[in-house]
Amino acid sequence: MDALDILTDLENVIPYFQPIFSADEQRIIAYEVLGRYRSEGNIISLGNFFLDDQIPEEYKYEVDLLLVQKALELAFELEDDVSIYLNRDADLLMYRHGEPFLQELLAFEKRGLNLKRIVLEISEGNYKGDFAQLDHLLQYYRTYGIKVAIASIDSNTNYFERIGQLNPEIIKINLQPLKSNTATAASFTDVLFSLSLLARKIGATLLFENIEMSYQLQFAWKNGGRYYQGFYLHPPASEFIDRELLKERLKGKFHEFIAYEKRKLEAIYSAAEYFQTKVQDILIKNKKANYEELFVSLVKEMNQIAFRMYVCDEDGFQKSSNIFKGESGWYTQKEYIQKNWSWRPYFLENIIKMRNEGKGILSDLYSDIETGETIRTFSIPINGNDYLFIDITYQYLFENDQLL
């Protein structure tokens, strides 16, 4: 498709709308505007047109502005609480310092369109301009009530740094990596966990896009997604649809997800109780034993469950050697004595919790620094100041799959 075909046939440049659904309301709360071109009865995406570096910016801006105008004209049909997401390449947004685009939005505001409904979805992966200027422009737009969304994670950008700089109201996450190989999907999950913590800190909302299957919707729900978008829910269309179209379906899905998570949480709680009873019984029987003798008793009972054990004081200084299970059996790692682990996330928080409640804790899933395997750790107070840590093998978690 030649760019000139589009530029000389702007009448057939049309907006398509992909609905965005809300977890809390189970209905449509926004539409993303997508560019399409109607040619001989076919509908063609304008994505390649806007990504083509050979096409001058003024031509892209002309087509983009037309799409915005047509989309906002139709937006008057929507209820006042439905937002409109406008995709803006950072370079295109900075065209003539962003002023012509803002004036176009202000013209619609005069006709009754509340600019608080506008969300600018910024794609800045290839942006080579001054980020300070981009940030200044976005702050200026915000004074009119316009919100900012950062588009999907791009491996070519320092994504977390960009979020810190632009401070978006919405962070949009592409779920395509979940369809990749297992290693990529696992790495994506780890990055997403960090991203969800960052979003919570800055007060941003997570929007998951490219949801094409039920398990992706479940993943988005489980990982703090408030907004959802993708072909599994509804494809882009030239017209708006009933806001309540998927309400009952989404309610049903959420009930399934909730029931599944409850079962997992019950399994984790039961596992924690099992370890509490099992380890406490061993501790009582070895009340006068030193740590090396205690480990001997623990190994007999937990050989098929654990792969590492050690004791720390409440400040995180290791009081014992590691006892570690290698390929040829258990052995002692004395070099770990007096190492400090208080820097680990949640370490001191869990110590205080164990001290106050007087019982053990089963950790969440995490990747072990040394083995790289996904594990959990059971920790338990063993006297007034010391705490026993037992690292649970991935094999045991796998065999008790609700712990994964």
Q: Nearest 5°: phi and psi at 167?
A: 50, 60
**Three-state DSSP class for 30?**
strand
State the pLDDT at residue 158.
Answer: 67
353 contacts 367 by C-beta, under 8 angstroms: no
Q: What global pTM score does this model have?
A: 0.89
CATH 3.20.20.450 domain locations along the chain: 3-234
State the pLDDT at residue 395.
Answer: 95
Positions in the chain whose pLDDT score sits under 50: 154-156
**How far, rounded to the nearest angstrom, does the alpha carbon of residue 247 sit from its chain's CA centroid?**
23
Q: Exposed/middle/buried for 80, CB within 10 Å: 0-12, 13-18, 19+?
A: exposed
Mind listing the pLDDT tens digit for each residue in 193-218? 888 888 888 899 999 999 999 999 99
**What is the rounded distance in angstroms from the CA atom of residue 89 to the CA atom of residue 94?**
9
CATH of 260-403 among 2.60.40.1120, 3.40.50.300, 3.30.70.1350, 3.30.450.20: 3.30.450.20
**What is the rounded distance in angstroms from the CA atom of residue 264 to the CA atom of residue 140?**
46
State the pLDDT at residue 188.
Answer: 77
Percentage with pLDDT > 90 across the chain = 73
**What is the rounded distance in angstroms from the CA atom of residue 370 to the CA atom of residue 96?**
53
CATH 3.30.450.20 domain locations along the chain: 260-403
CATH of 3-234 among 3.30.420.40, 3.20.20.140, 3.20.20.450, 3.20.10.10: 3.20.20.450
Residues 6+ apart with CB under 8 A from 155: none
